[in-house]
Amino acid sequence: MEQKYDFLPRRLTEEEIALAPLCWGRILSDYSTFRKKALKERKAGFYTLVAVLSTAVVKHDKHLVDVAVELTKENIPAHLYLSVAGSALCDLGSKNEGLAMLRDAVKSKSSHSVMLALAAETSDLEEKEGLSKEVLNENPLDCDALRHLAYAKHVQGRAQEAETLLDKILEIDPSNIYALEFKGNVYVDKEEYAKALEQYLQMKISPTPVSLQLKICHCYYLLDMDSKAKKIAKKIKDKIARAYDIEGGIERAQELLAEILSS
């Protein structure tokens, strides 16, 4: 029997997907499939969880995270709904609540996917490093674990170790979007903007996240490629206030785009 969830949109637009966090891009691109399967679930389960949480992220609606958990918690393993809902809460700005759910998920079942979900969100560098190393002890080629470990080392000031780990990821998976973005960010910090731009342009994502478009735009501007910078700035200036993952904050991004457009 089909479930009736009137609050689930029939589809997500490309703009909605582009405004969302990078880590949700693949899930959101498959939203229509998750929704169809959710409507056919006899009892609200995994597909309902993902469809409702996708809607929560896109609509910036924390209440829908509670709805997703309430609908599915009796029908799927605790570590599953805790980890996915916890990640959604972190991305919606409820970091402490989300981290608490993620840590409960790890206590419920310390699978690699659950540990890496916590490693992705925690700001505790020792916790991030410990979780990453625990996964790498069993799978030394896990790219997500290598990336989180690289981040911990980068923040700790161990830049060379971090870059070595990023290079290892790209040897394993040359198109890894997270490693490419991270390496681009490292080049920006080193003021090597041409190299940063090269990394960002290798990130093949459709639709292109607004946060990534901003980084590419900034690199063009710093490289005095003003026409290309202005073209992107015009495209994203009215979207930036609704975007996730804007490093430096929305206000700084808006100031940068205004500067580019008036140059």
- What is the pLDDT, as a whole number, of residue 70? 97
- What is the pLDDT, as a whole number, of residue 2? 62
Smallest Cα–Cα separation from 220: which of 204, 207, 236, 206? 236
- As given in the structure block, the two tokens for residue 65 are 């995270």
Smallest Cα–Cα separation from 171: which of 197, 146, 203, 149? 146
Residue ranges of domains in the chain = 1-107
- What is the pLDDT, as a whole number, of residue 177? 97
pTM of the model: 0.93
Quick check: 55 and 8 in contact, CB under 8 A? yes
Q: What is the pLDDT along the chain (263 residues), one digit of tens a residue?
A: 467 789 999 999 999 999 999 999 999 999 999 999 999 999 999 999 999 999 999 999 999 999 999 999 999 999 999 999 999 999 999 999 999 999 999 999 999 999 999 999 999 999 999 999 999 999 999 999 999 999 999 999 999 999 999 999 999 999 999 999 999 999 999 999 999 999 999 999 999 999 999 999 999 999 999 999 999 999 999 999 999 989 899 999 999 999 999 99
Burial class (CB in 10 A: 0-12, 13-18, 19+), 130: middle
